[in-house]
Amino acid sequence: MTRWVVGLTALCLLLQAGSASAAGRNGRAVLPPSSGGGYVPVAEYSAAPVAAESYTPVSYGGYHGAYSGGCGYGYGGSGYGGGCGVCYVTQYQAVSRTVCQYVPVTTYVDVSEVVCTPVTKTENRTESYYETVQRTVPRTYTVYRCENVVQTQKVAVQKPVTRMVEQTYTVCVPVSKVENRTYTVAVPVTRTVEQTVCSTVYENVAVQKTACAVCYVPVTTYTPPPPCSCSCGHVSTCYVPVTKAYTYTEWVCQPRQVVQKVPVTVCEYQQQQRTEAVTVVSYQQQVQKQQVAVCSYETVYQDVQVNVQVTKPHTVTENVTVCELQARTRVVPVTYTVASYQTVVRKVPCTSYQLQYRTITECVPVTVAVPCGGCGGYAPHGPVASPAPCCY
């Protein structure tokens, strides 16, 4: 009975290995079954494999032994199983696929161009022009001239007329009289007065002041040698700043008030009353009458001979030079430029992109499940070295 169970188990493993190999050939990588059952696909490829290269399988140890029959466990990369074990190996297959790319292709194309060339031609042409011709023509026209004519006209004249007229007017007659007038006079009186004058005098006074000066004094310092040393120490000299106070005399200009008595001449004015006889003139108005000659002007009309300018027409005939335009024709050579069009064919480089196909070969890893170990026995499998892939 035990032999029958072992045989059926081995047959199931062989069927699984065949399905895994078929999946590898179809471009699918097969992993151990997931928790939901079945196998998990790893990668898919668009191109079908055209060639396969097998290498020595690499055992994944106890991990795969755990999936072999439920009775194995992994340790150190070796599989221990009570039943038949399954090992997953990675194989590299050379797969070729077709890729396409655009390649620039430069060709020379015949291009027709139209070239415009200027051509100069000369031909005789008849042109019309106008020429100025002068001729003398008699012309009659009317001229207005100013002439002096003597005419008699009435003129208004202002004639003076004198007559005596009695007029009354008022005059101011001066009357003089003497009067005594009193007035006040300011008389200057001069006297000498002694006044006190205060002035400022500047004197130089000696002032004693104290200041501080900084000087540098050399100080010698001895540095003993360190213990357990054969040297004699070090002597150094440095300058130390010392502040000293000193006294000096400074002359300062100081002001001093001086009071002096100076005689000053003072002028004063005294008012005095004086009386003098003054002649006073006053005016008195008097009415007087007098015969006065008065001149007035009267308007008188008189006949006067006056020269008047009168405009009179006169007819004048003169010879006038007239300019006329007469049409003339002449033949003139004319140079003109015409355009000559020519078609020229030239080679022009033309770059186009063409789609090209090429086949490339790639190495694809494929994981395959193969039977490994023994049924019901101890079958350790260590890692086996695998050669480098074909694409390396």
Q: Quick: pLDDT tens for 226-261.
A: 777 666 767 778 888 888 888 888 888 888 888 888
Q: Quick: pLDDT tens for 67-80.
A: 333 333 333 333 34
Q: Quick: pLDDT tens for 175-210.
A: 888 889 898 988 888 888 888 888 888 888 888 888
pLDDT given for residue 362 in this prediction = 84
What tokens were used for 213?
A: 């000066």
Strands 30-33 and 39-41: antiparallel
Query: Residue 379 pLDDT > 80, yes or no?
Result: no
pLDDT given for residue 207 in this prediction = 85
Share of the chain above pLDDT 70, in %: 73
pLDDT given for residue 5 in this prediction = 58
Structure-model confidence comparison of residues 31 and 18, the more confident one: 18
Closest CA to 355 of 102, 166, 121: 102
Question: DSSP label at 53?
Answer: B
Residue 52 exposed, middle or buried by CB count within 10 Å (0-12, 13-18, 19+): middle
Q: Quick: pLDDT tens for 259-299.
A: 888 888 888 888 888 888 889 888 888 888 888 888 988 88
pLDDT given for residue 1 in this prediction = 55
Q: Which residues make beta-bridge pairs with 156? A: 301
pLDDT given for residue 6 in this prediction = 60
- The whole-model pTM stands at 0.22
Determine contact, residues 64/49, Cβ cutoff 8 Å: no
Highest averaged pLDDT of the listed ranges 4-18, 36-50, 234-248, 329-343: 329-343
